[in-house]
A and B are shown apart, each in its own frame.
Chain A
Amino acid sequence: MSDLTSLTLEAAVEGLKAKRFSSLELTQAHIQAMESGRALNAYVLETPDKALSMARAADARIASGAAGPLEGVPLGIKDLFCTEGVRTTACSKILGDFKPTYESTVTTQLWRDGAVMLGKLNLDEFAMGSSNETSAFGPVANPWRAAGSNQTLTPGGSSGGSAAAVAADLCLGATGTDTGGSIRQPAAFTGTVGIKPTYGRCSRWGIVAFASSLDQAGPIAKTVEDAAILLRSMSGHDPKDSTSLPVEVPNFPSFVGRSVKGLRIGVPAEYSAPGMPAEIQALWDQGVAWLKDAGCEIMPVSLPHTKYALPTYYIVAPAEASSNLARYDGMRYGIRAEGKTLTDVYELTRAEGFGEEVQRRILIGAYVLSAGYYDAYYLKAQKVRRRIADDFAKAFETVDALLTPTTPSSAFALGAKDTMDPVTMYLNDVFTVTANLAGLPAMSLPAGLDSQGLPLGLQLIGRPLEEGTLFSVAGALEKAADFRAKPRAWWRG
């Protein structure tokens, strides 16, 4: 049975279709894996009963020949997606035992296509973090450990639970969200594939908001093909989200395996951060070589405003968050601390309900929006954001996609942040925030292991709505890299 959890999503769909196994068997295998993987703390809520009943329904549809593209496939859902009748917390204390009466658009589409929900996955509180350590449920452990070490590493964040669950075969795929790299950085740290599509590709309706102009949902998966299959189901115009794009969803899986011959790949000089480990640079060079071998034309490009991206991001995102999180006021749902006055109730509720990092970002956000500072911070950041987007637009006049490292390092130890100032932690997002600021599709895929045996990721950034190109290029890289390493399953005890 444990074999079933090592399948790719694509292979599982094939096997189900060929009736080599049932969704019930597949789901049971994953429930077992989920339970024996509790040491990872990837799931904050397991929903085995729901999973089994969904699996039975899927088997019935398979039997009747009415199978959807994800029929019977067990998935994990980041606990930022509202799930009807199932506790949704954003991994914050402030939501308490909140059970939505509604289902997010993205998950609705996954269930529409036949997928099975295993449970809700851990994340940094309100998706604010890069190590999954800000979660009210405690950090997730990265399934990967450095060779010869028992030290627990971070899976990255904020979609740390999603990445760890996929890497440890605790689900066949997972949903994530990416505001500044929250899909791609954890994917890179766990040897998985993650894509943040074009802003507006996936509906934000029913996803707990962090920073509205940057948030996008996307999958974390075992392979490029799996990511393409999942993204196809997750995407689509939603009239309930004004920023959702009214465009057709391409057949993403059909792009995987296409020839990339003649595609022009840009290598942005500015992503070569000084002090970046040589291993990362070497991997990047390797990626360039692989694509050259596959027939791509490699071109140096310049994105001169890259160095402003991180500060811009850490103004825009907290500004929006400070306002988006105002609704958690103890009045209608979630926890409420009692106080003598209304102001007391607000202050005590929010002091008790929000963790330190969330409070920090609310404060930063309120500050940059306040009278007298708005022009210098928020308005300036918006102008820089425009420049960053213009840099990309200019580069995409000559190239079809960009290749960069996903992160400036491999996974670091849990607890390392205790000795790290917040800005050092924020530096994790240095290569990923740019795509969010410009609204571009970007993807991370595993390309090799570093000298400690930890996975490293390469990032591809594409033109708006050209996820298809990313899937083709990623397919070529995946083939060349032939990344088959798996973490050893220490968590099974």
Chain B
Amino acid sequence: MSDILDVVPADPKKFIQGRSGPWELVMGLEIHAQVASNSKLFSGAAVGFGAGPNEQVSLVDAAMPGMLPVINRHCVEQAVKTGLGLKAQINPWSRFDRKNYFYPDLPQGYQISQFKDPIVGEGEVLVERDDGSSFTVRIERLHLEQDAGKSIHDIDPNATYVDLNRAGTALMEIVSRPDIRSSEEAAAYVKKVRTIVRYLGTCDGDLEKGNLRADVNVSVRRPGEGLGTRCEIKNVNSYRYIQQAIEYEARRQIEVLEEGGSITQETRLFDPGKMETRSMRSKEDAQDYRYFPDPDLLPLELDAAWVEQIKASLPELPDDKKARLQSQYGLSPYDAGVLVIEGERAGFFERAAQGRDAKLVANWTTNELLARLAKSGQDIENSPIPPEDIAGLVELIETGVISSKIAKEVFDRMWAGEGTPQEVVDKHGLVQVTDTGAIEAVIDALIAANPDKAAAVKEKPQAIGWFVGQVMKETGGKANPAAVNEILRSKLG
């Protein structure tokens, strides 16, 4: 296959079985990420969530006569940063074009975008699947553009209301190559891009608010064939919807093809209520946007030294952080991967791991804390248990003050707000009994009371387990298991 678009080796495990045989799903995504910025791309008007309708609209945003756009340097910097985070080519010369169409939430009658010469060129993203394996998605380009306002159709049955607060805010459109082969991969790719932009601070990644949304280009083909005709599913804004939309769309296309039909290139909308995609407009009705370079703006020329400066200021990115967590703390790829999904998680871990058994800290963070947080819908930044307390808990385990089993109880009480691990242990007397004298006394009494069982241990060493169990029972689980074993072995062995 000589097509540069089509480079991912086919994997039969991902094929979808149709009535007439297997099909391969091929996808590329366009992610729209709102640039984290206090002001809009060309107007200087404030950007903020929660302002009243049309309260964040400048004369430029409302396209008053004679108003002119001026590029926001911060937004350009954010785009460059994102490009660097996507390991992409930063184009020293780029240009803004006008995309012309009429709509009430587009006051200028055109969107300022980058059509021919985007600010960022080719890059790539390494994406982890749930099973820990990874794949690469190539980035075709990233460009800057203005968002439109919002048309609100459901306030009045006979009127449409327009809120221009969003009009003119900066978006980065990140366009991938068609390197994605399953709905899980598509969701994983969006997650990874979200992680990267959040690390960089270039987009808050808030899917619910629509600050990160994806258009998915879906096509299917018989394994080994060239790329099929694609349909674009617009504006899907949750991982679950992305997967559902793709699965529905793939099935739909396969059905059409298996019935001898052909796919029409079109734009489709996903309806999460009905769990289906439906046609929005076909290629034939596609508008002619009459793109041309915006004569109100000069070409964007980036100073190489400035780009270098931005590069030097980049934070550690998830792939590098994952590698470092593995090498520095001896974490498994899985644990490291879970921790780096959010920079805050990794930061939490690293604060807790100082001077402690890092693997233990990772276990408590990923298995217990993250699970609890997920259940209660909280972020790690607002964790009721601070990193110092995870460190304290692990310290108590490491020094033998509590057993792992007791540690679970301590953790539950910490979660319930009962205080630091030490406070919990003190309050509830959860200290592990390591006083060998006390343990010895319990053991001596048990042996004396159960001579038959003690004799059995000499023949069948596994029978010692019964004594261990009894000691734990007698001590309310607080006996140090290592000490119990050692004393039992010396007396019975």
Cross-interface CB contact of B110 among A239, A323, A331, A371, cutoff 8 Å:
A323
Q: Which residues of B contact A212 (CB under 8 A)?
A: 295-296
- Say whether B400 faces chain A, with CB atoms less than 8 Å apart: no
Distance in Å from the Cβ of B161 to the closest Cβ of chain A? 12
Q: List chain B residues, Cβ under 8 A from A102.
A: 59, 64
Answer whether A205 and B110 are a contact pair too, CB < 8 Å, given A212-B295, A331-B162, A342-B104.
no
B332 at the interface (CB under 8 A from A): no
- Nearest-neighbor residue (CB-CB) of A345 within chain B: B104
CB-CB contacts of A201-225 with B at 8 A, as 1s and 0s?
A: 0001111110111000000000000
**With the chains together, A320 CA to B110 CA distance in Å?**
12
**CB <8 Å contact, B108 and A319:** no
A327–B290 CB distance below 8 A: no
Taking a contact as CB atoms closer than 8 A, the residue among B70, B109, B295 that contacts A327 in the complex is: B109
Residue on A with the closest CB to B42?
A242
* Total residue contacts A-B, CB cutoff 8 A: 98
Closest A residue by C-beta to B60? A240
Are B102's CB and A366's CB within 8 A?
no
CA distance A369 to B291 in the complex (A): 7
Q: Using an 8 Å CB-CB cutoff, how does the interface string of A341-377 with B read, 1 for contact, 0 for none?
A: 0100010000000000000000000100111001000
A327 with B162: CB separation less than 8 A: no
Contact: A242 with B110, CB < 8 Å? no
Complex Cα–Cα for A211 and B109 (A): 15
Which of A204, A205, A326 counts the most B-chain CB atoms under 10 A from its CB?
A326
With A102-B59, A242-B298, A371-B288 in contact, do A329 and B102 touch (Cβ < 8 Å)?
yes
- Complexed CA–CA distance, A426 and B66 (Å): 25
Measured CA separation A212–B294 after assembly (Å): 9
Q: Which residue of B lies closest to A211 (CB)?
A: B295
B68 touches A332 (CB 8 A): no
Contact A241 B65 (CB under 8 A): no
Closest A residue to B71 by beta carbon equals A242
A374–B292 contact, CB under 8 A? Answer: yes
Q: Could you say which residues of chain B place their CB within 8 Å of the CB of A241? A: 68, 70
Q: Quick one: which of B263-309 are within 8 Å of A by CB? A: 288, 290-292, 295-298
- Cβ of A111 within 8 Å of any chain B Cβ, yes or no, is no
B455 lies within 8 A of chain A by Cβ: no
In the complex, the answer to whether A370 meets B67 with C-beta atoms within 8 Å is no
**What chain A residues lie within 8 Å of B69 (beta carbons)?**
242
Q: Does B100 contact A (CB under 8 A)?
A: yes
Residue of B nearest to A209 (CB): B66
CA distance A240 to B43 in the complex (A): 9
Q: Tell me, rounded to whole Å, the shortest Cβ–Cβ distance linking A54 to chain B.
A: 22
A208 to B66, CA, bound (A): 4
- Would you call B109 and A323 a contact (CB within 8 A)? yes
A273 to B85, CA, bound (A): 59
Chain-B contact segment, one of A24-32, A93-101, A283-291:
A93-101
Is B66 touching A82 in the complex (CB atoms < 8 A)?
Answer: yes
- Determine whether B63 belongs to the interface, using a CB cutoff of 8 Å to chain A: yes
Question: How far is the CB of B89 from the nearest CB of chain A, in Å?
Answer: 25
Chain A, range 158-212, C-beta contacts under 8 Å to B: 204-209, 211-212
- A331 CB to nearest chain B CB (Å): 5
Hey, which chain B residues are within 8 Å of A209, CB to CB? Answer: 65-66, 296
In the bound complex, residues from chain A placing their C-beta under 8 Å from that of B109 are 323, 325-327, 329
Query: Which B residues lie within 8 Å of A82 (CB)?
Result: 64-66
Contact A370 B65 (CB under 8 A): no
Q: Counting CB contacts under 8 A, is A272 at the interface? A: no
A8 in the interface (beta carbon within 8 A)? no
B100 and A369 within 8 A (CB): yes
Question: Which residues of the other chain, B, contact A320 by a CB distance below 8 angstroms?
Answer: 295
> Quick check: is A281 within 8 A (CB to CB) of the other chain?
no
Question: A471 on the interface (CB 8 Å rule)?
Answer: no
Please tell me if B245 contacts chain A, counting CB pairs below 8 Å: no
Contacts from A to B (Cβ < 8 Å): 81-82, 88, 90, 95, 98, 100-102, 104, 204-209, 211-213, 239-243, 319-320, 322-323, 325-327, 329, 331-333, 342, 346, 366, 369-371, 374, 378
What 6 pairs across the A-B complex have the smallest Cβ distances? A326-B109, A212-B295, A369-B290, A213-B295, A327-B63, A206-B66
Residues of B participating in the A interface, judged by any CB pair closer than 8 Å: 59, 62-71, 98, 100, 102, 104, 107-110, 160, 162, 288, 290-292, 295-298
Instruction: Name 7 extra pairs, CB < 8 A, besides A212-B296, A331-B162, A332-B107.
Output: A101-B64, A242-B68, A326-B109, A327-B107, A327-B108, A332-B62, A374-B290
25 sampled A-B residue pairs with Cβ under 8 A: A90-B65, A101-B59, A104-B66, A209-B65, A209-B296, A239-B70, A240-B68, A242-B70, A243-B296, A319-B292, A320-B295, A323-B98, A325-B109, A326-B102, A327-B108, A329-B102, A331-B162, A332-B62, A332-B64, A333-B64, A342-B104, A366-B290, A369-B100, A369-B292, A374-B291
